[in-house]
Chains A and B, each alone.
Chain A
């Protein structure tokens, strides 16, 4: 059974710091991995999607890496800003089937202090 873990559960940093959020999964047979952002009381916004054949994806100040063999992904945020404060979730899509259900981690709640 696939399990997804995100550590730490919460993180507080001063503005301007570079930071790394971690995501680990137990079964390396994944189709892809997706990182989301969620603001309080809102839905999820997709940030980056990494296919199983890829090693990393970049969007602006965000860079996500994937190491399937070790069951790990990291989300790197450069030069953090107060507007980056949110909960970040990773989700893995399993191989096989027509739909490929996503398994979500519990998320890391990030606070960036001015």
Chain B
């Protein structure tokens, strides 16, 4: 069964800390995405990557950066965590050809105190 794995289900961090959220997919997908989901705001795209070392800003990139050094891994980095980054973070991947189904990980619930 194909999988997108997010390394941490729950994290609690302090304001100003650097936070790494890791996502790994085993489907050899070219495209990977990071979303955040907040009540009343729905899912919003932070960053996406369409190939190794390639990245593009989504709708809300401020305060975040990403890294894609290997095809299977896409990392989201909060350089200096703030309380307004408390959220559910969802990673997803999709192949460039075929059914183009977007497959999500289980999510990472981040709380910044």
Please report A residues at the B interface, Cβ cutoff 8 Å. Answer: 31-32, 34, 36, 41-46, 49, 89, 91, 93, 98-102, 104-107
Max count, chain A CB within 10 A of own CB: residue among B40, B43, B92, B96: B43
Given the complex, which residues of B lie within 8 Å of A104, measured CB to CB? 42-43
Given known contacts A43-B106, A43-B107, A99-B56, A49 and B99 CB-to-CB distance under 8 angstroms: yes
Question: Mind listing 25 A-B residue pairs with CB under 8 Å?
Answer: A31-B100, A32-B100, A36-B104, A42-B106, A42-B107, A43-B90, A43-B106, A43-B107, A44-B90, A45-B104, A46-B101, A46-B103, A46-B104, A49-B100, A49-B101, A89-B43, A91-B43, A98-B50, A99-B48, A99-B50, A99-B56, A100-B100, A101-B48, A102-B102, A104-B43
Q: Is B61 an interface residue (CB 8 A)?
A: no
Give CA–CA (A46, B95) in the complex, Å.
14
B3-61 interface with A by 8 A CB criterion = 4, 6, 31, 40, 42-43, 45, 48, 50, 56, 58
State the CA gap A112–B43 with chains docked (Å).
24
By CB atoms of chain B within 10 A, which of A31, A41, A89 has the most?
A41
CB atoms of B102 and A91 under 8 A apart = yes
Q: A98-B31, A101-B48, A106-B40 are in contact. List 8 more A-B contacts (CB 8 A).
A: A34-B101, A43-B106, A43-B107, A46-B104, A49-B101, A89-B43, A93-B100, A104-B43
CB within 8 Å for A41 and B42 given contacts A46-B101, A101-B48 = no
Closest to A49 in B: B101
Given A34-B102, A43-B106, A93-B100, CB of A101 within 8 Å of CB of B58? yes
Check B109 for interface membership: any CB of A closer than 8 A. Answer: yes
Residue of A whose beta carbon sits closest to that of B44: A104
B71 CB to nearest chain A CB (Å): 15
- Chain B residues lying within 8 Å of A31, measured Cβ to Cβ, are 100
A74 to chain B, nearest CB (A): 19
Contact digits for B83-109, partner A, Cβ 8 Å, 1 yes 0 no: 000001010100010011111111101
